A and B are shown apart, each in its own frame.
Chain A
Amino acid sequence: MRKIFKQNEIYIFFIMIALIIIITSFNRSFFTLENFFDLLKGHSYEGILAIGFFLVLLSGGIDVSFTAIAVVGMYIGVYTLILTGLNNIFIALLVAGLVGILLGAINALFIGVFKIPTLITTLGTLSAFQGGLMSYLQATKQTVISDPPTSIVNFGKFAIFRIVTAKGSVIELSIFGFIFAFFAILTWVILKYTTLGRSIKAMGGNREAAKRAGFNILRIQFFIYCYVGFMAGIAGLMFGSYLRYIDPLNLVGNELTIIAAVVLGGASIMGGRGSIIGTVIGVSIITILNTSLVFMKVPQYFQQAVIGAIIVISVSITAYRQKRKDRETRVLDVA
């Protein structure tokens, strides 16, 4: 029991609960199944991006290019359907995922083979990926796809089940929540039960030791960035289907929201620490904050300030606890 309370997840779980109670006291319609399903539908893509960002962070890297990968995956996925006339969501998902893997591999190439620091690499590829897409679109005189194929629209509307309430309103659970849950569980299993997953965590804890123990660091890095790229591509397509509006200028610029969620969830910027469950709670808190602040008519710039404050405060708390821990483990034998 004491061990459980030592864990960061418990604290942020209670923060989330407290937040829900406070907001519900302002706005009764917040704590309803309908709102919960709505939030899940609209923000699952953020959850998937957060899981990807967390994985990179755990391995000791930082990846800020994920929004660009998502946008590129989204656009090419939808554009393929238009170009080929194949109106099939699975083809779009496949293409978006493959584009994500490819772009992730480019990241891994720079990081693993040319040994360029992860932040520098992905800051570069963030611009390069989106810029590349934009210049292609400009050259071919295309812009926003405001009328995506029906399969994309239907994907956004697809519900696992519907409930009709006594009042006659319809509550739907979108498939998006399931995709999010799928990636969360898959990543958790990889991290917990595979040697690859443990190696990722170990590498984030002590890179030098991993090297000496004979880990194939290059292979691990290719896996991480390709897998994260794949998730970003899928998340991008989900985002586009939800909006039914494929805008290549979307998403990029929202990296900080995701980063805030992951850091709030207890992952360390220095690598090696954090959990999937923490990340999920982190995303939930950020989502709740973002949407409820709108509800409460808080100006948008103030929201931005709140997100920034959350990053700084949660990093400080983690750092402070580390410092306290260091002090506790010091040998002192004084009466």
Chain B
Amino acid sequence: MNEEIISVKNISKRFGAVQALDNVDLVINKGEIHCLVGENGSGKSTLIKIISGVESPDSGDISINGKLYKKLNAIDSMREGIQVIYQDLALFPNLSVGENISLNQRIEKKEKFINWREVRDIAEKELKSIGKAINPDDLVEDLSVANRQIVAICRALTHEAKLIIMDEPTTALTKNEVENLFKIILDLKAQGISVLFISHKLSEVFIISDKIAILRDGKKVGDFKAEELDNEKLVFYMTGKKLVATKFKCEIKQDSGKPLLELKNFTKKGNFLDINLKLYSGEILGIIGLLGSGRSELATAIFGLNKPDSGELFIDGEKVVIDNPGEAIEYGICYLPEDRLSEGLFIEKEIEENLSVIILKNYIKSGLIQRKKLRTDIEKLSKDLNIKTPSLELPVQSLSGGNQQKVVVAKWIAANPKIFILDGPTVGIDVGSKSDIHQIIRNLANKGIGIIIISDEIPEALQNSNRILVMRHGRIVKELESDCITEEELNKIVIESIPKQPEKVSI
């Protein structure tokens, strides 16, 4: 088993003033599941680009299957059996599953014509080899994210892949789907195919990997066997700091008075049913639920984006009806959406503009915008939240995921919310920024803001809230004080709430 697929030695790469990689080694053996972890900007993507031949290193050696490459280009890398599955999967939504699996290979082989029978056969063979029953004639746009990923894996297999690199494959998957994906990865391993797995979810890293390579600031910290590490050590190696996980304590005394927000029998058919909850000033309420449990639908309903069928909503004890986000903001409600890229940010616009979008109206004097005042306030805000950027005039997309999320948070903080709902605030964000964001949220609570965190990461919810609601099938099935429960116990409750349903092939 100790046959080397790829070995890179002393790789260095510099972009302008940034030393992206500094003397990095990486060896991946046949049939090995290797995890690459590191914070944003630690050089993970540069390393992948070098292995896949997209970028060439300034110095260092790359040898693949025993062959030394002075200059590796993308086609050589593919020919040697290295396949990258990027986070966006790069599929063609308007083509069938079969075509998506076989088209690239046909183009590579310079075939002029399409034999539809062959397209089907290739697809069926690959789907069968990883044991998945997806109809090759279905359009990719009709598949669930998990099934799309399977299509992307099958496509990689048609290239006789020896090493498949997966860039954060689990971000948009439900718990069941992640388990399925892991089964497939183990299957690939059994077939002698190596996998380089990149993830920010450390719990997954421990489950799946044989070896863990850690990068920090472009340097390799080391290679570890999964059993040599625990969460604390891993985080320490990644960040170079000891991030002490403290628990949130609700500091503001609950004046037994009115709750900031109260829902009574909040119901929308097919979304959430009979929701009763109270949120007090200064507390952080965690809502745990799996993808599809109705958690996000509930959040959008409170924010006026998803009109409920029945039920009542009270703010400071007064019954109100919220028909649109504008009204929600008037009542002091803010909402950080699950998908920050498509719903939370104007990704191509400047950071400054993103930050000012909610509060702009407060800076208008006799019909004109007070640019200077706005600018000073925004600069202060971005400093307070530790948004790392050389200039606020850069587009948001130039930032790392963690800093992008800080922009979304900052935008809402500027609006002085009374109630702040955060849906998946740290999805796809590295550990360092993650703890920054948790700290920001806690500070807000300490100032008296009522906060709801929606998450499927149990440790996150447990550490950062004083009360937890578990949601399942659109209902709240459990309410807990987070002091009174351990992670294991809570985990059990959530897992029990996973429905035992037949696997859905396509939705």
B104, B143, B290, B297: residue with the most chain A Cβ atoms closer than 10 Å: B104
B90 and A332 within 8 A (CB) = no
Interface 9-residue window, one of A75-83, A204-212, A303-311? A204-212
0 or 1 for each of B84-101: is its CB under 8 Å from A? (1 = yes)? 001010111111000100
Least CB distance from B462 to A in Å reads 23
Given contacts A193-B114, A334-B473, A335-B473, contact A206 B93 (CB under 8 A): yes
Known: A195-B111, A331-B144. 17 other contacts (CB 8 A): A192-B114, A195-B107, A195-B112, A196-B112, A199-B107, A202-B99, A202-B103, A205-B92, A208-B90, A329-B507, A332-B294, A333-B499, A333-B501, A334-B271, A334-B294, A334-B474, A335-B273
- Measured between beta carbons, the chain A residues less than 8 angstroms from B95 are 198, 201-202, 205
Interface status of A215 (Cβ within 8 A of chain B): yes
0 or 1 for each of A315-335: is its CB under 8 Å from B? (1 = yes)? 000000000010011011111
Chosen A-B contacts, 17 in total, with CB atoms closer than 8 Å, are A192-B114, A195-B106, A195-B112, A198-B99, A205-B93, A206-B91, A208-B90, A212-B86, A213-B104, A213-B107, A214-B108, A329-B141, A331-B292, A332-B270, A332-B297, A333-B473, A335-B475
Interface status of A157 (Cβ within 8 A of chain B): no
- Measured between beta carbons, the chain A residues less than 8 angstroms from B297 are 332, 334
Interface status of B75 (Cβ within 8 A of chain A): yes
Interface status of A97 (Cβ within 8 A of chain B): no
- Measured between beta carbons, the chain A residues less than 8 angstroms from B499 are 333
- Measured between beta carbons, the chain B residues less than 8 angstroms from A196 are 112
- Measured between beta carbons, the chain B residues less than 8 angstroms from A205 are 92-95
A209 to B74, CA, bound (A): 15
Least CB distance from A178 to B in Å reads 25
A331 and B174 within 8 A (CB) = yes
- Chain A residues 168 to 209 lying within 8 A of chain B, measured CB to CB, are 192-199, 201-202, 204-206, 208-209
Residues of A within 8 A of B (CB): 192-199, 201-202, 204-206, 208-210, 212-215, 272-273, 325, 328-329, 331-335
A-B interface pairs (CB < 8 A), number: 98
A196, A202, A328: residue with the most chain B Cβ atoms closer than 10 Å: A202
A214 and B107 within 8 A (CB) = yes
B94 and A272 within 8 A (CB) = yes
- Measured between beta carbons, the chain A residues less than 8 angstroms from B86 are 212
A331 to B461, CA, bound (A): 22
Q: Which residue of A lies closest to B176 (CB)?
A: A333
- Measured between beta carbons, the chain A residues less than 8 angstroms from B75 are 214
- Measured between beta carbons, the chain B residues less than 8 angstroms from A272 are 92-94
0 or 1 for each of B456-474: is its CB under 8 Å from A? (1 = yes)? 0000000000000000011
B474 and A204 within 8 A (CB) = no
- Measured between beta carbons, the chain A residues less than 8 angstroms from B104 are 213-214
Given contacts A334-B272, A334-B273, contact A204 B94 (CB under 8 A): yes
Least CB distance from A192 to B in Å reads 7
- Measured between beta carbons, the chain A residues less than 8 angstroms from B108 are 214
- Measured between beta carbons, the chain A residues less than 8 angstroms from B270 are 332, 334
Interface status of B426 (Cβ within 8 A of chain A): no
Q: Which residue of B lies closest to A322 (CB)?
A: B141
A329 to B499, CA, bound (A): 19
Given contacts A332-B297, A335-B473, contact A212 B144 (CB under 8 A): no
> Which residue of A194, A213, A333, A334 is within 8 Å of B90 (Cβ)?
A213
Interface status of B113 (Cβ within 8 A of chain A): yes
B113 and A193 within 8 A (CB) = yes
A208 to B292, CA, bound (A): 29
Interface status of B291 (Cβ within 8 A of chain A): yes
B92 and A209 within 8 A (CB) = yes
Interface status of B142 (Cβ within 8 A of chain A): yes
A195 and B114 within 8 A (CB) = yes
- Measured between beta carbons, the chain B residues less than 8 angstroms from A192 are 114
Interface status of B42 (Cβ within 8 A of chain A): no
Least CB distance from B96 to A in Å reads 10
Least CB distance from B253 to A in Å reads 36
> Which residue of B91, B111, B273, B291 is within 8 Å of A209 (Cβ)?
B91
Q: Name the 8 nearest CB pairs between A and B, nearest first.
A: A334-B474, A209-B90, A205-B94, A333-B292, A335-B473, A272-B94, A331-B292, A205-B92
Given contacts A332-B271, A332-B297, contact A194 B144 (CB under 8 A): no
Interface status of B209 (Cβ within 8 A of chain A): no
Interface status of B293 (Cβ within 8 A of chain A): yes
- Chain B residues 139 to 163 lying within 8 A of chain A, measured CB to CB, are 141-144
A195 and B113 within 8 A (CB) = yes
Least CB distance from B507 to A in Å reads 6
A328 to B144, CA, bound (A): 11
